Chains A and B, each alone.
Chain A
Amino acid sequence: MLFRNKKLVYAATAGFLLIVAFVLPSSLSRKGKGAVRGVVAPAERGTAGLGRRLSEAVAAIRGMGGAVEKNRDLSHELVRVQARLNQLRDAEADNVRLRRAFKFHHQSPHSMIPCDVISRNISGWWNTVRIGKGSADGIQENHAVISSDGLVGKTIEVSKQTSEVLLVCDPAFRVSARIDRANVFGLVRGGGVNLKGHPVAQMDFIDKDTEVRVGDEVVTSGLSGEGGVSPKGVHIGYVEKVHRDASGLFQSAEIAPSATISLLDYVFVVSAGATEEAP
Chain B
Amino acid sequence: MMNRILLFGGIAVGALVQLFLPTWPMFGGIKPPVLAAFVLYYSLHRSPRGMWIAVFWAALLHDGLDLGGFGPALVGFPVIGVLAHRVRLEIFVDGLVTQTIFGALGAMLATLVAMVLYAVTGQRPFHFGYALLQIIGSGLLGMVVLPLVSLVMNKLEALLPKRRGYGWQ
Contact = CB atoms under 8 A, between A and B. Distances in A.
A155 B66 CA distance: 14
B19 A44 contact: yes
Contacts of A47: 16, 19-20
A123 B31 contact: yes
A22 B71 contact: yes
Interface residues of B, number: 39
Given A36-B61, A36-B65, A20 B71 contact: yes
B29 A124 contact: yes
A40 B31 CA distance: 19
Interface stretch (B72-80, B89-97, B98-106, B145-153): B72-80
Nearest to A26: B69
Given A37-B65, A193-B29, A21 B19 contact: no
Contacts of B123: 172
B70 A20 contact: yes
A122 B19 contact: yes
Contact of A44 (B16, B68, B70): B16
Contact of B125 (A18, A43, A44, A171): A171
Given A17-B78, A32-B70, A124 B23 contact: yes
A51 B70 CA distance: 29
Contacts of B66: 121-123, 125-126
Contacts of B35: 122
A202 interface: no
A32 B23 CA distance: 26
A194 interface: yes
Contact of B69 (A17, A21, A35, A171): A21
Interface of B: 12, 15-16, 18-20, 22-26, 29-31, 35, 60-72, 74-75, 78, 82, 114, 117-118, 121, 123-125
